[in-house]
Amino acid sequence: METCSGVTETVLTFPAYLQNAGKAIMAKGGKVIMSSQTPNNPWEGGSFSYTGNRFVTYAELAASRIGATYVDHGQYTANRWQSLGLTTTNSYFPSDHTHTNAKGADVVQAAFVKAVLCACNPLATYLKNTTSSVVGNCIVTVPCASTSTTTTVPTTTTTTTSSGGSGCTVAKWGQ
C-alpha cells in the first residue's frame, strides 16, 4: 500500500496483475493462455543473443498459479529470428530494435501459433494450422490426448499423440 496526496493505492506485482486478469477471465468461463514477452531484435549486436528476461519467469509463474496454459512466445520467436539469420531479421526491424514491420509481425504471430499448437492447448482446435504447417520446432513436451508414443532422437524427445483429435508432435530440448 502506498499513500500519495492522501490517497491510498495498492500496487501489485507484475505476476499478481497477470493472475488477477487471468482469474477474472476464467471466472467468466474464458480459457486463458499466458505468454512471455517477445524479444527485441536478438541480432542487434551482429551476433545472435537471447535470454528471456525476468518477466518471462513471472508470466510462467502466474499461469501456473491459476492453472492457465503458458507458452514461451519469447523463446519461440527468438528461435525463428535465429533461424532466419542476421540479414533477414534486421530487415524486419527497420526503425529500431523493438518494432517490426509487417513481415516481422507475421513471424511473431506465427511463433505464437506454433507455441499454442505445441502446448496442445484446447484453443488449438480453433486454429486452422497444424504443428507441421507452422515453421519452427516445438520446445515443450505436453501430452495432447489419451494415447501417446514417445520416440527419442538426438537432443530431443518427440511425443506423437493421437486419439481421433488433432494430435500434436512436440519436443523438449535437452532430453
CATH number of residue 117's parent domain: 3.40.50.1110
Whether the CA torsion 160, 82, 155, 59 is positive or negative: it is: negative
**Residue keyed to cell 480453433:** 126
- C-alpha grid cell for residue 163? 486419439
Dihedral class, residue 89 (left if φ above 0, else alpha if ψ from -120 to 50, else beta): alpha
Q: What residue numbers bound the domain in which 74 lies?
A: 2-131
Rounded CA separation 84/80 (Å): 6
Res 20 pLDDT > 80: yes
Q: Identify whether 149 is part of a domain.
A: no
Residue 167 lies in a domain: no
Residue 142 lies in a domain: no
Q: Is position 81 within any domain?
A: yes
Which positions ≥6 away from 16 have C-beta within 8 Å? 62
Residue 157 domain-assigned? no
CA–CA distance, 119 with 117 (Å, rounded to integer): 5
Question: What phi and psi, each to the nearest 5 degrees, are found at residue 18?
Answer: -65, -45
What per-residue confidence (pLDDT) applies to 163?
35
Q: What is the pLDDT of residues 50-79, one digit of tens each?
A: 999 999 999 999 999 999 999 999 999 999
Contact 143, 155 (CB under 8 A): no
Candidates 161, 146, 155; CA nearest to 173 is 155
Q: Half-sphere exposure of residue 26, counting CA atoms within 13 Å on the CB side?
A: 15
Percentage of the chain lying above the pLDDT 90 cut: 58
The verdict on residue 124 lying in a domain is: yes
What pTM, to 2 d.p., does this model score?
Answer: 0.74
What is the identity of the amino acid at 13? T
In a domain? residue 96: yes
Q: Where are the alpha helices (DSSP H) in the chain?
A: 14-27, 54-66, 73-91, 102-118
Residue 171 — pLDDT band, cuts 50, 70, 90? very low
In a domain, 158, yes or no: no
- Please state the domain count of the chain: 1
Residue 148 has pLDDT above 60, yes or no: no
Sole residue written with cell 533477414: 88
